[in-house]
């Protein structure tokens, strides 16, 4: 943060300081000179975060709810199935083949959302919370004439707001911070999420530094963003999340007890 507000020459001369020696908004100016790409990336990221979190939360809660119902016969099997995916994965190449060849998701917005919809670990957290919910509540709802869906949406979900908030925050972090899916599956510049933009900026510099002795020196170093611009980008990338985080803080204590109580 401090660096992003400093004057370039001073950073180079005096190193990093907590309080900038000389304030300057040059870093930000450099970025906002070409705002199109940045705004575009921002909107992509915000969109996938919102849609992904909402949908992910719904699916996670549904699966967890089913798994937590004591009167569900295949409870164990389902749980095992979920845990199994947590421990074993197919590996990158099969995953890639599945997404590109069978689901045809390459270069779509969906590819940034679908793979992260249900994370088994979050399902387990959610299940841990829902396990503590007395089954009598649901039974009484049934007697009052509520169907399965109604009892889930009208009773179970409102009662599990702390857990939903916690898991929702986790899921939104995953979406917000993801650049990996974009790297693999996105070719069009219109669909590049913010973090990938950031990752590229940083990576290009790293990469050039590592390979400069192999290159015939055809890469023009002046094209790279300056240090302060890089830091400004980093601030812009992480900023909103830092802002959101404290608001969810209060749910944490409640939400994070993963099955610490015995039934």
Partner 1 sequence: MMVKVKRRVMHAAFATVLGLSLVLTACSGGKPLNEVSKETTPRNQESADAGNQLEPVELTWYYPQWSIQPDTQKVQDAINKITTKKINATIRLMPTDGGSYEQKLNTMVAANEKFDIAWTSFWMFNYAQNARRGAFVEIGPMLEKNAPELKKTFPDLVWEALKVDGKIYSILNYQTITNKEGFLIQKRFADKYGLNPGTIKTIKDIEPFLTKIKENEPDIIPFGMTRGGNFENMKTTFNNIEYISNEAIVGIYRGDSETKVMDVIQSPEYKEYLNLMNGWYQKGLINKDAPTVKALDDRKKAGQLAVTFHNVLKPGREAEEKNASGGQDIITVPTSEPYVGTNTIIQSMQAISQTSENSERALMFLNLLNSDKELLNLVCYGIEGEHYTRISENTIKPLENSKYNPNITWVFGNGFLADLQEGQSQEVRDQTLKENSEAQSSPILGFTFDPEPVQTEIANIQAVNDEYGPSLNTGAAKNLDQKLAEYIEKRKKAGVEKIVAEVQKQLDAWKRQTGK
- Applying CB under 8 A, among 219, 242, 244, 253 the residue interacting with partner 1 is 219
Helices and strands in the chain: count of H runs, count of E runs = 15, 0
- State the minimum distance, in angstroms, from the CB of residue 80 to partner 1: 29
Residue 119 falls in which region: left (phi positive, over 0), alpha (psi -120 to 50) or beta: beta
CB 82 within 8 A of CB 76: no
- State the minimum distance, in angstroms, from the CB of residue 59 to partner 1: 10
d(C-alpha 67, C-alpha 185), whole Å: 33
- Applying CB under 8 A, among 199, 233, 237, 251 the residue interacting with partner 1 is 199
* 227 lies in the binding site for partner 1 (CB under 8 A): yes
Q: Looking at beta carbons only, is 62 or 83 nearer to partner 1?
A: 62
- State the minimum distance, in angstroms, from the CB of residue 61 to partner 1: 11
Closest CA to 263 of 163, 130, 101, 170: 130
- State the minimum distance, in angstroms, from the CB of residue 227 to partner 1: 5
- Applying CB under 8 A, among 1, 80, 137, 154 the residue interacting with partner 1 is 154
- Applying CB under 8 A, among 16, 153, 247, 252 the residue interacting with partner 1 is 153
Per-residue binder mask for partner 1 (CB under 8 A), 99-128, x = binder: -xx-----xxxx------------------
- Applying CB under 8 A, among 71, 89, 222, 246 the residue interacting with partner 1 is 222
* b/e 28-60 (16+ beta carbons within 10 angstroms → b): bebbeeeeeebebbbebbeebbeebbebbbeeb
Q: Looking at beta carbons only, is 9 or 239 nearer to partner 1?
A: 9
- State the minimum distance, in angstroms, from the CB of residue 214 to partner 1: 4
- Applying CB under 8 A, among 30, 114, 157, 238 the residue interacting with partner 1 is 157
- State the minimum distance, in angstroms, from the CB of residue 54 to partner 1: 4
Residues 6+ apart with CB under 8 A from 106: 99, 100, 185, 187
CB 226 within 8 A of CB 201: no
CB atoms within 10 A of CB 224: 14
d(C-alpha 107, C-alpha 44), whole Å: 13
Torsion of CA 203, 206, 209, 215, to 10 degrees: -30
Residues from 31 through 90 that contact partner 1 (CB under 8 A): 36-37, 47, 50-51, 54-55, 58
Residues engaged in binding partner 1 (CB under 8 A): 8-9, 11-13, 36-37, 47, 50-51, 54-55, 58, 92-93, 96-97, 100-101, 107-110, 153-154, 157-158, 161, 183-184, 187-189, 192, 199-200, 202-224, 226-227
């Amino acid at each position: 943060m401090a660096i992003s507000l400093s004057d370039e020459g001073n950073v180079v001369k005096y190193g990093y300081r907590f309080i900038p020696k000389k304030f300057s908004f040059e870093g930000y100016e450099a970025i906002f000179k070409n705002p199109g790409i940045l705004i575009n990336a921002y909107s992509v990221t915000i969109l996938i975060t919102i849609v992904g979190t909402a949908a992910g939360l719904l699916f996670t809660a549904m699966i967890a709810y089913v798994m937590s119902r004591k009167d569900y016969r295949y409870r164990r099997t389902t749980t095992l199935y979920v845990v199994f995916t947590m421990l074993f994965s197919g590996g990158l190449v099969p995953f890639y083949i599945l997404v590109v060849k069978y689901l045809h998701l390459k270069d779509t917005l969906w590819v940034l959302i679908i793979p992260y919809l249900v994370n088994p670990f979050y399902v387990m957290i959610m299940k841990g919370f829902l396990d503590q919910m007395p089954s009598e509540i649901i039974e009484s709802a049934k007697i009052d004439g509520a169907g399965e869906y109604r009892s889930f949406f009208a009773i179970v979900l409102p009662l599990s707001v702390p857990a939903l908030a916690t898991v929702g925050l986790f899921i939104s972090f995953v979406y917000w911070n993801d650049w990996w899916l974009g790297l693999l599956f996105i070719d069009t510049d219109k669909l590049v999420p913010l973090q990938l933009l950031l990752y590229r900026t940083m990576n290009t510099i790293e990469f050039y530094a590592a390979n400069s002795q192999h290159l015939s020196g055809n890469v023009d170093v002046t094209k790279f963003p300056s240090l302060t611009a890089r830091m400004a980008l980093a601030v812009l990338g992480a900023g909103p999340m830092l802002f959101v985080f404290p608001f969810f803080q209060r749910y944490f204590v409640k939400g994070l007890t993963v099955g610490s109580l015995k039934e």
